[in-house]
Structure formats: C-alpha cells, structure tokens
C-alpha cells in the first residue's frame, strides 16, 4: 500500500481520527462528525464511517438538521442512515425545507430520487 500524505491535516484533527479506534475509542459527536468522516475517507479508515452510521442510527439526541445528516449519509455511503433521514420527511413542509437547503444541491441523483419517492408516498396515501 502506498503512503497517504498527511499534508494539511492538523495534529489535533489527526489525533481525533486516531482516537476513534486507538487506544480507547472515542465516539463521534455532532461537533466532530463531519471532520471524522472526511478524514476516515481520506486516510482509508472505513471503521470511522461505520461507527458513525451506527451511532446516528440509534441516536435521537443529535442536533444536526436532517438535511445535513442526509447529505453526509449520501456523501459517505451510509445507506441505512440515509434511509432513516429520508423516512423523516413526512410533510410538504419537510420537503420544502430540504429543497431550499444548501445540502439539497449536494445530494446525488439517486438520493433525490429516493426523496421524491418518499414525497409521493405521503402525498398519495
């Protein structure tokens, strides 16, 4: 395996990444989740992404807006978390809020399709 250059990563951010699995694991928080996901992907540590997905699947205490969580789940391939976020769209107001958000522009076409299917479900039921 080739070396992955650390480059512009701060000592604190790299230590945060390492702390998720060595020596005593520290779980992601709302404050650290985005940076951890970014570094997990960059440094080929898929464990970080899996732990994050599992944590947010069971968490009901996150202050991260559903739109942001959906965008992160889409970007980092957290399919179960993405489904949870899509299922949280239950009203026309929820759909409008997502459509107006900056995160909506970053969603993949596949995720937008899932959102439209969800909207159809609650409008036509």
Q: Encode 16-47 in three state secondary structure.
A: HHHHCCCCCCCCCCCCCHHHHHHHHHHCCCHH
> What is residue 1's predicted lDDT score, i.e. its pLDDT?
63
> What is residue 100's predicted lDDT score, i.e. its pLDDT?
97
**Is residue 42 pLDDT above 70, yes or no?**
yes
85/24: higher pLDDT = 85
68/19: higher pLDDT = 68
**Is residue 99 pLDDT above 90, yes or no?**
yes
Binned at pLDDT 50, 70 and 90, residue 101 comes out as very high
Binned at pLDDT 50, 70 and 90, residue 60 comes out as confident
Q: How many CA atoms lie within 13 A of 72 on its CB side?
A: 23
């Amino acid at each position: 395996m080739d070396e992955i250059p650390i480059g512009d990563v701060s000592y604190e951010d790299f230590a945060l990444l390492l702390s998720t699995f060595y020596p005593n694991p520290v779980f992601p928080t709302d404050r650290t989740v985005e940076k951890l996901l970014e570094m997990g992907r960059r440094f080929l540590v898929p464990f970080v992404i899996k732990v994050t997905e599992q944590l947010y699947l069971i968490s009901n205490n996150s202050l991260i807006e559903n739109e942001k969580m959906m965008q992160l789940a889409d970007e980092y391939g957290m399919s179960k978390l993405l489904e949870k976020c899509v299922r949280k769209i239950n009203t026309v107001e929820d759909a409008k809020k997502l459509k107006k958000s900056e995160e909506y522009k970053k969603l993949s076409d596949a995720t937008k399709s899932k959102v439209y299917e969800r909207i159809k479900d609650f409008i036509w039921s």
